[in-house]
Amino acid sequence: MDQHLLYYILVFIWLLPFTFGSDKIHDDVLNTCLDGRFHKSKPGIEDELFSQCSPWKSRSCCTNATAKSLHEPNHYNFNLDHCAHKKPMSEECKKHFIQDLCFYECSPNVGHWLVKVNMKSRKEKFFEVPLCKSECSAWFEACRYDFTCNVNWIRGFKWTSAGNVCHDNVSCETFETIFHNSTNFCEKVWDHSWKVVEDDVPCMKIWFNSTDGTNPNDAVARHYVDISSKTSSAAVVFSNILVNCLSLFVVLKFL
């Protein structure tokens, strides 16, 4: 084989990993909706989103119909008032849970943290999304003296045709008694969907009041995806250097 032609072929093979695919993967992760029963396939603009879900209307994974349903009792057949016989959940505590639901249904920023699950309501969940400590503290303070009967609301209830109920052998206690502190609450209530971090670390806001359509969580998602992309790129570079050096050695050996 002509040595000049061989040289150009080897250079082309070398450049392939750096030329194709990485930007598309990067953009897809930053523009992803969770694979769930009510989620859109891709985020997009909504003319309006109801009440607590309104901050996401400029780029949303939920429709307005879904946003409205989140504000109704027993969405997903889940009853926040599972300890109503002790005390109905306070409106302030409910508001924080609705904001959390809006994040879950509407946020386009969780692609980096999605993991596969096998559930009737969804095929994916987000896992250990970094949550600002101040957000977590505000949520816990709003619910501190409300009542629940277990730590993990995904796995800890008995499920009936009427929805979630407490197991017979447990009693309803305050959030303060059940969870002890805000970090334990935020990280365990939804089975480690959240990971509480200090506010000076890039972290998600469950809710934000945006007048210009800006979502502060966009920058947070991009930060972590960029770090992941650089790490992956370094691994690809090393792998391809090794493969191409071996290929070059084999080719030159038989020239």
pLDDT at 80 over 90: yes
Residue 233 is assigned to a structural domain of this protein: no
Does residue 177 belong to any structural domain of this protein?
A: yes
Residue 148 falls within a domain, yes or no? yes
Comparison of pLDDT for 15 and 220, the residue scoring more: 220
- Residues above pLDDT 90, as percent of the chain: 65
**In whole angstroms, what is the distance from residue 85 CA to residue 91 CA?**
16
Asked whether residue 81 is domain-assigned, the answer is yes
Instruction: Report strand pairing: 173-174 vs 147-148.
Output: antiparallel
Residue 16 covered by a domain: no
Evaluate the CA torsion angle 214, 106, 140, 84 in order and state its sign: positive
| 104-155 pLDDT, tens digit each | 999 999 999 999 988 877 889 999 999 999 999 999 999 999 999 999 999 9
The answer to whether position 13 is within a domain reads no
The pLDDT of residue 235: 44
CA atoms of 223 and 212, how far apart (whole Å) = 22
* Side chain identity, residue 216: P
234 belongs to a structural domain: no
Q: Kindly report the average pLDDT of the chain as a whole number.
A: 85
What angle, rounded to 10 degrees, do the helices at 22-29 and 217-253 form?
160
Burial class of residue 1, CB neighbours in 10 A (0-12, 13-18, 19+): exposed
Record the pTM. Answer: 0.79
Give the C-alpha separation, 21 to 111, whole Å.
17
The pLDDT confidence band at residue 203, using thresholds 50, 70 and 90, is: very high
Which of the four pLDDT bands, split at 50, 70 and 90, describes residue 189?
very high
Q: Which domain holds residue 101?
A: 31-215
Q: Classify residue 225: in a domain, yes or no.
A: no
Residue-wise pLDDT tens digits, 210-223: 777 789 999 999 99
Q: How many folded domains does the chain comprise?
A: 1
